[in-house]
Amino acid sequence: MGTDERNFRSIYYEKVGFKSVEEKKSLEILLKEKCLDGNKLRQFCLRFAVPHVHRSLLWKLLLGVLPMQVDCHQFVMNQRKQEFNDLQHTLQVLKIVDGKTSKSQAFLAMWLIQTSNLTFDLNLNQEKDLSSNNFIAIVRCLMHFLDDDVDVYWIAKKFYDNLLKMKNEIPKLIDYTYYLLEKEDPEYYKLLTSNQLLDSVLLAKWFNCCFAGIFHDNCIIKIWDKICGGSYKILSYLAVYSLVLLKVRIWKMTDPVSITQCIRNITEETADTIVTKTIDMWQNYSSTKEK
């Protein structure tokens, strides 16, 4: 079979939905093993679109909520649920939460307990700490597509804990963002940097929360699939492609806050286009490099 025929068939299968079906089957085969292969699961996240039906399980495995030994899953999740309930009970006893406390605020307090950062003078309604706000943004995003509160809390905790561990890498992501943008559009890059519209502070804010609360919740999840697979570098690509696609709107802006607001206000359709193009750009650039 010739190369052209293979390419034609691949495109055809993708258009009629066969490609996603085959990818889903491949993942299901990986998940049937009694001792799962974390490296293969990570590679799946990096190479393919994660089926919604398997996303929660896959993320729990890759983030360490669940072990790779399948026989232990029920026991471990029972323990996670018990710890979740104990944390909630503790907050009630300490009168930190009440009937008016939102889930995201309660989950923040639970996270603060587990990270030994809870203070007795904590006021959840007035909490302005950057880490707290980032954690809440991640929780709210996860609540859009996860129904189980236990899953939401533990995935949010592990996801954000991992994000904090790579905080020292953010300057590298910022530098890489500048590199990509200058390569994609030198004139636009010069305008944004010379007018101080795109500074390291703005980019750090985006990266510290993985765009939670900034980019459309229903679309950012596809980017987080890649992050769970181990590629934080994709955040630079998302920043660059968002800036490039929204160039007409951003060109005349006068402050960085307006850029964030512009990204926050895009439609789901535009956000989905940005994510699709971002992943394509990331894959193209990374095809011969480490992701």
* Residue 291 falls inside a structural domain: no
Query: 248 falls in which pLDDT band (50, 70, 90)?
Result: very high
Long-range contacts, stretch 15-23, CB < 8 angstroms, 24+ apart: 20/49, 20/51, 23/48, 23/49, 23/51
pLDDT at site 117: 87
Give the lowest-confidence range in 88-92, 252-256, 276-280: 252-256
- Specify the pLDDT at position 17: 43
Q: What pLDDT shows up at residue 169?
A: 94
Instruction: Please give the Cα distance from 206 to 111 (Å, whole number).
Output: 21
Mean pLDDT rounded to a whole number for the chain: 89
Report whether pLDDT(160) > 80.
yes
Q: Which domain holds residue 15?
A: 3-63
Q: How many helices (H) and strands (E) does the chain have?
A: 16, 0
Point out the least confidently predicted range of 17-31, 108-122, 236-250: 17-31
What does the pLDDT read at residue 155? 98
Structure tokens at 269: 């359709």
Query: For residue range 85-99, what is the model confidence (pLDDT) as tens digits?
Result: 999 999 999 888 888
Q: Tokens 């939905």 correspond to what residue?
A: 17
Look up the CATH number of the domain holding residue 194.
Answer: 1.10.472.80
Of the pLDDT bands very low, low, confident and very high (cuts 50, 70, 90), residue 182 is very high
CATH of the domain at 53: 1.10.10.750
Asked if residue 147 and residue 99 are part of one domain, the reply reads yes
**Domain assignment of residue 44, yes or no:** yes
Q: Looking at the 3D structure of the chain, how many domains does it have?
A: 3
Is the pLDDT score of 223 beyond 80? yes
Question: pLDDT at position 21, please?
Answer: 64
Q: Which H or E run includes 153?
A: helix 149-165
Closest listed residue to residue 46, CA positions, set 286, 274, 235, 230: 230
Measured between alpha carbons, how far is 193 from 171 in angstroms, rounded to an integer?
16
Report the percentage of the chain scoring pLDDT > 70. Answer: 89
On whether both 107 and 178 belong to a single domain, the answer is: no
Q: Rounded to an integer, what distance in angstroms lies between the CA atom of residue 137 and that of residue 215?
A: 11
Q: What is the pLDDT of residue 119?
A: 81
Task: For residue 30, give the 3-state DSSP assignment.
Answer: helix
For the chain, how long is the longest CA-to-CA vector?
70
pLDDT at 6 over 50: no
